[in-house]
Structure 1
Amino acid sequence: MEDGTRKVAGIRNVLAEEERLANLIADSITPKLVPSIEVLPWRKTQVLAVEVYPSSNRPHYLTRLGPEQGLFVRVGSTNRRADSFLIEEMRRYNRISSFDEQPMPQLNSEGIDFRAASEFFKPARKLTAHGLQTLKLTAAYQGKTVPTVGGILLFGSDRLNYFPDAWIQVGRFAGRDRRRLVDSKEVRSYLPAAAEEAIGFLQKHMTREAVIGPVKRVDQWTYPVVAVREAIMNAIVHADYAQQGAPIRVALFDDRLEVENPGLLPFGLTIEDIRKGVSKLRNRVLGRVFQELGLIEHWGSGIQRMTAACQDRGLAAPHFEEIGTHFRVTLSSKRIHEPPTDSRDQAILSALAASGGQGRSTARIAKEIGMSPRATRTRLASLVERGLVVEIGSGPQDPHRRYHSASDSA
């Protein structure tokens, strides 16, 4: 294709070029790579189509540079030389194993804080030594039971000694860049609790006051909590903990929230794939434990749930990108359209607008719109999450809890 005009120039001696290309691939790449090369007619000329399928012998490298210097990966529109950690991850991926499933033979089973692990699993089930093995928090190694990488990452008594970057750095910046840090926190809790701790920090900086009738404080999150939680949970579960030098980072700016974790997308997965719900779990032990603890749902559903939550609030869909050897999710605070509502939602909003600023109870709204109190509560929760309705009350069980139209708080 010609530069500038994008005109397909084609190849004059297509058979000779096909042979030259096949020889170049065979002589330059180790282990041997056998792509599909096809001659295709295009109008009055011909082109060569080359299709490379996933290889069982990967990773492949440039023969003249060797296996350590000649291995490159595609990041966005650039080619990047793979470092030792990325090369090892490629080899693990080809062995159909994950980093967090590997045993740590230098430790014994006492390396896991069994009491802490049991507390996390208490709502789900009683954790036993056999349960640790079933979850692959421990593994058999040369006749003894040792913790796995995942076991130490999740519940290791001295986990930060072995994985010093397995924590979350959260920061609030003034403006739209990193020049002025207003507040920050280092979240070094066990990973199953780290996400909620990070969210708690963000909520402190994402709230605003609204006045409805008597002056009362109403917490209205800038971003849907569902989307924030999914972004942070995904970062924890999909981070590449074999990398060294940077923790998971969560940065809140005036106009956006960035959640960044070490590690590119797993091999063979594209940003377009994850938007469609396709998922390849990098850390199987972490994913299995988080799912059993109810911290994540089905693998691959988090991205779509995050996107839906933002769009329901009238915000842009999350932006995904690979930067260096990291993956970043960006949530924008700019509203691009009004949150969508259906006839039931409109009926609720109309009922609240007719209250004259006095608000309505769940029972009163349910009666006015002809729905059951349970279905009405579900609708109200969604409207509150989308910022269309404001809830006033001391808690879910407050009998005097009332709902107001968000427009009344202006």
Structure 2
Amino acid sequence: MHKGSKISPLLTLDYIQHEDENKYFDRKSAQFRVKDLAPLISAFANADGGTIVLGISDKKRKLEGVNSVGEDKINNFINAPKDLCKPMPKYREEFIEIENDKGESDRLLLLHIFSSVDQIIRTVDDRTFLRIGDKKKEILGENLRNLEYAKNAIHYEDGINQYAQIEDLDEDLLREYQKRIEAEDVSIEQMLSARGFLVMRDGEKHLTNAAVLLFAKNVRQFYPNCRIRFIRYDGTSAKVGTRMNIIKDHNIEYPILKIIDKSKEYLATQFREFTALNPETGLFETVPEYPEFAWQEGIVNAVTHREYAMMGNYILVTMYDDRLEIESPGKLPNVVTVENIRETRFSRNPTISRVLTEMGWVRELNEGVKRIYADMKGFFLDQPEYSEPNFSVKLTLKNNIEVRKTRQNEHALQNLGEALWHDLDDLERQIVAYMTSHGGASRTDLEKHLGKSNRTVIKRINHLMQLGVIKARGDKHDPKRSYEMIFKENKYQVGIK
């Protein structure tokens, strides 16, 4: 005898009989009218999905079973999502064998209704419901419109802006766009109309949301969420209160056609550089903290594909010592997952995406994502990570700073040999690792790096010189005197600048 659902293991027989109804499950008696299931099915499908358990009385929670109502009604229950809703939501039926309250062998029928990500599920009489807590609620008016935007049943970018006028758009941006699409021989108004940015509603012309988001002089006036917030933390985690470790908090607020350039300019000033010894030239060269394409494409994708209907949300770029996170409002459409994002194309905002493509910003999404993976690999960094926290899409790029530090020690050890490496004290090893990765250092550099006094550092330097591990550059009275490693052989060294 089965003790619960195989499709949703949480739904044990004990759970579905004794737990209170909630956002994810509801129980009904088999005596319940089939047609009355329609609002409940719509509600679950438009929310996060859920299971309807048929065969348990609502109030007394008795195990009545479904056999007593006959196979015809049972089949009607099973077909209810198909017969009573439009379009039909994804669902599965399942039976659980039980002993009913009369001591007879019987069954419960479970209808597992799956969440509809990109379309609204309505009842056949054209009503729309949403599961909120343990209740179903009919959605009307503005709430229904917001749900449609969230489900991508209509595109937010194609909705009209009731307040913006053509005079609120940036003429320079419009002229540049005209030039790109070779439409300089027509007026700006004609171009906006031809491209679907200016539409007729109730006998009046209105700009679309896309037009204002793309071309506004002051986008904040209409869409305060059209911004990128950059936060940089000192360390690898965010702290609060007296330990708060935010060292940068900067907002970048421009229309879409400017925000990508402006964010690239600003972020480029925030990244550190690594130094590397080129084994072919024997010279130290600078290496970016992250591949330029990877973080720039992450920004472009966030701006292009975010959910602009989520009015309280903005793109958040967070920089830690060991990683960069780019978080964009709106989950991936149901055809795209974090697993198949390299191969699957989508566009939440096809109009905005088209314009950015025409302006030379956007590639097909999967092409750009593929190169992010390739460039991270080419820098010997961990592959990028995509996740979907809190109704958003997050790209995480790791710089492997700890791995790089470990590699410094490994390279230094390889250069010195194990026997000599183990004869050094901890400070001397830190000096060797630092100088191996940087190609050299002054006494002041080493004092800052080690956090030690002049006397302590000079003592270690002299010992390392006696061992033939390092050599001086310049006279001992020269204030600019520095030291460098004596390499046994050319090896590729990686470090932090």
Match of 1:166 in 2: 226
Contact residue 306 and residue 330 of structure 2 kept, 8 A: yes
The match for 1:295 is: 361
Assess if the C-alpha contact under 8 Å between 1:243 and 1:262 holds in 2.
yes
CA shift, 1:309, in A, is 2.3
Match of 1:249 in 2: 316
Give runs of aligned pairs for residues 169-318 of structure 1, distance below 5 A: 169-178=229-238, 179-208=244-273, 210=275, 219-266=286-333, 268-272=334-338, 274-318=340-384
Mapping of residues 91-102 of structure 1, within 5 Å: 91-92=148-149, 96-102=153-159
Q: Tell me the TM-score normalised to structure 2 length.
A: 0.53
Contact 1:169–1:250 at 8 Å: present in 2 too? Answer: yes
What is the aligned counterpart of 1:29 among 35, 41, 50?
A: 41
Could you tell me which residue of structure 1 aligns to residue 440 of structure 2?
Answer: none
What SS is found at the alignment partner of 1:106? coil
Distance change >3 Å, CA 154–CA 37, structure 1 → 2: closer
**1:136 is matched with which residue?**
196
Query: Which of 156, 160, 165 lines up with 1:103 in the alignment?
Result: 160
The aligned counterpart of 2:410 is none
Q: 1:120 offset after TM fit, Å?
A: 5.3
Structure 2 equivalent of residue 150 of structure 1: 210
> In the superposition, relative to structure 1, how do residues 182 and 121 fare at CA in structure 2: closer, same or farther (>3 Å)?
farther
SS at match of 1:229: helix
- CA distance in structure 2 between the partners assigned to 1:7 and 1:56 by the alignment: 27
Q: Distance in 2 between matches of 1:241 and 1:9?
A: 37
- Determine if the alignment matches structure 1 residue 65 to structure 2 residue 136: yes
Give distance in 2, aligned partners of 1:305 and 1:9: 43
AA aligned opposite 1:234: N
Task: Please show how residues 295-374 of structure 1 align to structure 2 within 5 Å.
Answer: 295-334=361-400
CA contact (8 A) 2:210 2:352 kept: yes
Alpha-carbon contact 1:173-1:254 (below 8 Å) kept = yes
SS at match of 2:251: strand
4+ aligned runs moved over 6 Å, structure 1: 5-11, 17-22, 46-49, 211-217, 335-338
Counterpart CA distance in 1 for 2:274 and 2:220 is 39
Counterpart position of 2:419: none
SS in 2 for 1:170: strand
Counterpart secondary structure, 2:388: strand
| Matched residues, number | 321
For residue 270 of structure 2, give the secondary structure of its aligned residue in structure 1. helix
SS at match of 1:277: coil
Cα distance between partner residues in 2 of 1:159 and 1:407: 48
SS in 2 for 1:61: strand
Matches of 2:377 and 2:402, distance apart in 1? 9
The 3 A distance-change label for structure 1 pair 56 and 326 is closer
8 Å Cα contact 1:316/1:336 also seen in 2 = no
**Partner of residue 77, structure 1:** none
Is the 2:218–2:255 Cα contact (8 Å) retained in structure 1? no
The amino acid of 2:41's aligned partner reads I
The CA deviation string for residues 122-175 of structure 1, in whole angstroms up to 9 with x for no partner, is 456455423323333322334443211011111112321110111111122210
Change (3 A) 1:122 1:175: farther
SS of the equivalent of 1:220 reads: strand
Q: What one-letter code is carried by the residue in structure 1 that aligns with 2:258?
A: A
Report the Cα distance in structure 1 between the residues aligned to 2:10 and 2:253, rounded to whole angstroms: 55
Amino acid at match of 1:28: L
Q: Is the 8 A contact 1:258 1:331 kept in 2?
A: yes
Change beyond 3 A, Cα 1:8–1:165: closer
Counterpart residue type for residue 345 of structure 2 = S
Deviation at 1:199, TM superposition (A): 2.5
Tell me if the contact between 1:316 and 1:335 (Cα under 8 Å) persists in the aligned partners: no
Farther-moved stretch of structure 1 (254-263 vs 141-150): 141-150
- Give the aligned residue type for 2:288: W
* Alpha-carbon contact 1:37-1:50 (below 8 Å) kept: yes
Does the 8 A contact of 2:277 with 2:493 survive in 1? yes
Q: Is the partner of 1:29 in helix, strand or coil?
A: helix
Tell me what 1:359 maps to: none
TM-score in terms of structure 1 length: 0.63
- 1:360 alignment counterpart: none
Q: Determine if the alignment matches structure 1 residue 114 to structure 2 residue 189.
A: no
Is the Cα contact below 8 Å between 1:314 and 1:335 reproduced in 2?
no
CA 1:22 to 1:209, structure 2 compared with 1: closer, same or farther past 3 Å? same
The answer as to whether partners of 1:139 and 1:146 remain within 8 angstroms in 2 is yes
**Counterparts of 1:126 and 1:316, CA distance in 2:** 45
Instruction: Output the amino acid matched with 1:67.
Output: E
Any gaps of 5 or more consecutive residues in structure 2? 14-27, 44-83, 97-106, 123-127, 239-243, 405-489
Contact 1:137 1:285 in 2 (8 A): no
The answer (yes or no) to whether the contact 1:227–1:306 under 8 Å persists in 2 is yes
